[in-house]
Chains A and B, each alone.
Chain A
Amino acid sequence: MSSKTQILDFIRGRYPQAEIDESQDIFALGFVNSLFAMELVMFVEKTFGVTIPNEELRIDNFRTADAMSALVSRLSSDLAVA
């Protein structure tokens, strides 16, 4: 299962009433609060074995499943290089 699919499954699991695709801005839907943001970051770090540094905790990295998947790829490649 791709990282994008896993991220979408997590968001849909928390907000099953929302219709979300991989390019949809979840912030525009209006249900993202600091609690969900924390859960989302914990989910990404746990599921993909990465640590998101402070400088990557930017809204644009979390707007869409596409953006989060790209973040995971970037951090995973950093991990591989290290």
Chain B
Amino acid sequence: MIALGLEGSANKLGVGLILHPPKGGAAHILSNVRHTFVSPPGEGFLPKDTAKHHRLWIIRLVRQAMKEAALRVEDINCICYTKGPGMGAPLQSVAVAARMLGLLWEKKLVGVNHCVGHIEMGREITGAQNPVVLYVSGGNTQVIAYASQRYRIFGEALDIAVGNCLDRFARTLRISNDPAPGYNIEQMAKQGRHLVDLPYAVKGMDCSFSGILASIDILAEKVDANQGGRKDDLTNEVITREDLCFSLQETVYAMLVEITERAMAHVGSSQVLIVGGVGSNERLQEMMGIMARNRRGSVFATDERFCIDNGIMIAHAGLLAYETGSTTAFEDSTCTQRFRTDEVFVKWRE
């Protein structure tokens, strides 16, 4: 069976085509195309502009995906789209496109939970069996484990998501948003050497990032204004913008690894799967690997094609649901900004 997946819950618009072989086995990715709305340095992406971007690009991307996969419309079994969570206006644009294609091609629709899309794609690509999942992106920070037909949230960010914290700090420093603010912070952090003290906010399996952002924003102001050059306590060297990127990464990723380890100890699992855009950060993957090795476990991560929002994950999760007989009726093909991971009944797993 073949599914078309449309994703546009944030600033990435993704279209993917996936094939599930009739006798089971690994899924075939027929095409996976994406176009990202990049805002100027110092600015985030606004819902209005992002939705406009998606409307402008959706037809082109669907055409391109179909062409790459060399498929005819008749080959497609269902059209999957992101129902939520995400930004309202971009979600709506994509839902409208999905409905339009559904009517035009006379295909069933499947509304997909964005987070479940990430988890299922990560499992498919890495082959992780029953991992604890760390889902980290610009809008979401969750530690998830599967139990009796649901992806249960063990811990999560209590305020802003970790990716949002990084994105907004990139705005403070006016770092480029191309290809992604987090990527550019990661590159700068490689030059950083001094660790500045930042709040460390872990509560059980939950964590908080807004205080860290406020705190490092204040430090950034001082570095930029060069107010007497704040110095490192040990070496007496001047703190740089690179040091701030380094410190921010070290602090927030230590928090994420800590809550993941706690969840692993809690459920007795030795596998971790990292999904979501922040999951493509190599330092986070490295730290998670050290933790997992010390527990005699292993870490699974995917590269940017599958970590960062994409259409193929929506196609994959949607097709899993479709194969168990669940579709979304045309009149129910809405989208929602709030759609928790544990609301989805996972019929396709043991």
A binds B: no
Residues on A facing B (Cβ under 8 Å): none
Residues on B facing A (Cβ under 8 Å): none
